[in-house]
Amino acid sequence: MMLTLLAKKREKQRLTRDEIKKMIDGYVGGQIPDYQMSAMLMAICCNGMDDEETVDLTMAMVESGDIVDLSAIEGVKIDKHSTGGVGDTTTLVVAPLVAAAGVPVAKMSGRGLGFTGGTIDKLEAIEGFSTALSKEQMTKQVRDIKIAIAQQTDALVPADRMLYALRDVTGTVSSIPLIASSIMSKKIASGADKILLDVKFGSGAFMKTVEEAEKLAQAMVAIGELVGRETRAVLSSMEEPLGKQIGNSLEVEEAVQILRGKKDGHLKQVCYVLAGNMLHMAGIVPSVRAAYPVLDSLIQSGKAMEKFREFVIAQGGKTDFIEDLSILPQASYQMEVLSEKEGYITTMDTHQIGMCASLLGAGRMKKGDAIDLSAGLIMHVGLGDWVRRGDRLAVLYTNKKEALIDASTLLRDAIKMSEHSVKKGRLIYGIVDKNGLHTE
**φ, ψ (nearest 5 deg) of residue 242:** -70, -50
Could you say which of 21, 111, 146, 186 is catalytic?
A: 186
Three-state DSSP class for residue 433:
strand
Could you say which of 175, 182, 185, 358 is catalytic?
A: 182
Question: Would you call 34 a catalytic residue per the annotation?
Answer: no
**φ, ψ (nearest 5 deg) of residue 390:** 95, -10
Could you say which of 77, 111, 135, 167 is catalytic?
A: 167
Could you say which of 79, 160, 349, 433 is catalytic?
A: 160
Question: Would you call 160 a catalytic residue per the annotation?
Answer: yes
- The Cβ of residue 38 has, within 10 Å, a number of other Cβ atoms equal to 16
CA separation, residue 92 to residues 191, 321, 391, 431 (Å): 20, 15, 31, 22
**φ, ψ (nearest 5 deg) of residue 303:** -70, -35
Question: Would you call 309 a catalytic residue per the annotation?
Answer: no
Q: How far is it, in rounded angstroms, from Cα 169 to Cα 102? A: 43
The sign of the dihedral angle between the CA atoms of 217, 56, 178, 49 is negative
Could you say which of 21, 22, 77, 81 is catalytic?
A: 81
User: Could you tell me which residues come within 8 angstroms of residue 240 by beta carbon, excluding any fewer than 6 positions away?
Assistant: 202, 204, 266, 348, 350, 382, 383
Element (H, E) at 335: strand 333-338
Strand partners of residue 234: 198, 431
CA separation, residue 286 to residues 24, 277, 279, 434 (Å): 42, 10, 9, 18
Residues taking part in catalysis: 81, 160, 167, 182, 186
